């Protein structure tokens, strides 16, 4: 079952064409990657899916419904299905860990504080952090811990679709590997669809079920890593440059 379908999407800014008639589907419960060079329009697609950026030409369907035909109320409801972990998704420095995780719940739900706190602690646990960090402030956390807290905040509202923009950037290789493992565990635990923008070959190899590579305004590749590695296309080969590493599985 497709959760999101992009059909014949074309986008240009001024006279600069970013996407030229691109189409692809994201299946429910998969971990899907959007890959491509800098400026290839990865973020723009995500912004269009979550209705932060206007669709200029083409269609985007969410669970078979054209998002351009939604009423204001339906659009708001749709948006509540989405959650993000932005690349520089900063935590509020003046709030401690548990308060950071609770922010959205406090703002957008009418749940009693005691329940919000329980949910926040559950989410803290889900991202692999001990409750002893609950009262620490962001400045007291490592980069990997900050990412985990931001992830806990992103899943607190129980989204159907989670968007991760370069989730492992800035992490050392070991922390990045652990974070990748966590992403897969969360998909199982929460039964959600995860859409990732990434350049991290370990993420591409071990986390993504399928991905697209955008090049020169078009989709240069759509499929899984095994299929990608068999492509003769030079651009795809170059894109997966460290493919020795990929093929040998370490």
Ligand X SMILES: Nc1ncnc2c1ncn2[C@@H]1O[C@H](COP(=O)(O)OP(=O)(O)OP(=O)(O)O)[C@@H](O)[C@H]1O
Residues 6-25 that bind ligand X (CB under 6 A): 13, 18
Candidate list 3, 26, 40, 116; residue touching ligand X; CB under 6 A: 40
SS3 163: strand
* Binding residues with ligand X: total (CB under 6 A): 10
**By the rule CB under 6 A, 39 interacts with ligand X:** yes
Count of Cβ atoms closer than 10 Å to residue 116 Cβ: 19
Closest Cα to residue 212, out of 1, 10, 27? Answer: 27
Structure tokens at 4: 């999101």
Which residue from 1, 15, 38, 110 is in contact with ligand X, where contact means CB under 6 A? 38
Q: How far apart are CA 73 and CA 191, in angstroms?
A: 25
Minimum CB–partner distance for residue 157 and ligand X (Å): 24
Edge-to-edge strands, sheet with 82-85: 82-85, 161-165, 193-197, 31-36, 210-215, 218-223
* Choice from 9, 31, 35, 41 touching ligand X (CB under 6 A): 41
Task: Report the residue number, 44 or 96, with the smaller CB distance to ligand X.
Answer: 44
In the complex, minimum distance from the CB of residue 37 to ligand X, in angstroms, rounded to a whole number: 7
Nearer to ligand X, 6 or 97 (CB): 6
Binding of ligand X at residue 44 (CB under 6 A)? yes
In angstroms, the CA 167 to CA 89 distance is 10
Exactly one of 6, 9, 43, 146 binds ligand X (CB under 6 A); that residue is 43
Nearer to ligand X, 41 or 167 (CB): 41
Of the candidate residues 4, 9, 26, 36, the single one contacting ligand X (CB under 6 A): 36
Pair 237, 220: CB distance under 8 Å = no
Q: Six-digit token pair at 192? A: 């959600």
Q: Is 203 in the site for ligand X (CB under 6 A)?
A: no
Q: Which helix (H) or strand (E) holds 99?
A: helix 97-108
Q: Does 42 bind ligand X (CB under 6 A)?
A: yes
How do 193-197 and 31-36 pair as beta strands? Answer: parallel
Instruction: Kindly list the residues in this chain that would bind ligand X in the complex (CB under 6 A).
Output: 13, 18, 36, 38-44
């Amino acid at each position: 079952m497709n959760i999101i379908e992009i059909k014949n999407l074309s986008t240009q800014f001024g006279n600069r064409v970013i996407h030229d008639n691109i189409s692809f589907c994201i299946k429910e419960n998969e971990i899907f990657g959007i890959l491509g060079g800098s400026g290839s329009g990865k973020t723009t697609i995500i912004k269009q899916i979550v209705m932060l950026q206007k669709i200029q030409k083409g269609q985007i369907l969410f669970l078979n419904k054209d998002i351009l035909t939604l009423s204001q109320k339906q659009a708001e409801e749709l948006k509540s299905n989405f959650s993000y972990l932005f690349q520089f998704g900063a935590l509020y420095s003046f709030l401690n860990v548990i308060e950071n995780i609770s922010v959205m719940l406090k703002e957008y739900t009418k749940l009693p504080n005691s329940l919000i706190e329980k949910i926040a602690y559950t989410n803290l646990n889900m991202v692999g952090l001990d409750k002893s960090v609950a009262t620490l402030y962001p400045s007291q956390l490592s980069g990997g811990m900050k990412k985990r807290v931001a992830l806990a905040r992103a899943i607190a509202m129980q989204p159907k679709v989670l968007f991760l923009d370069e989730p492992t950037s800035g992490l050392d290789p070991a922390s990045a590997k652990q974070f990748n493992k966590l992403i897969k565990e969360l998909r199982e635990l929460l039964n959600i669809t995860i859409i990732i923008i990434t350049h991290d070959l370990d993420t591409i190899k071990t986390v993504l079920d399928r991905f697209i590579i955008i090049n020169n305004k078009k989709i240069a590749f759509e499929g899984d890593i095994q299929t990608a590695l068999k492509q003769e296309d030079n651009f795809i080969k170059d894109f997966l440059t460290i493919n020795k590493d990929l093929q040998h599985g370490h």
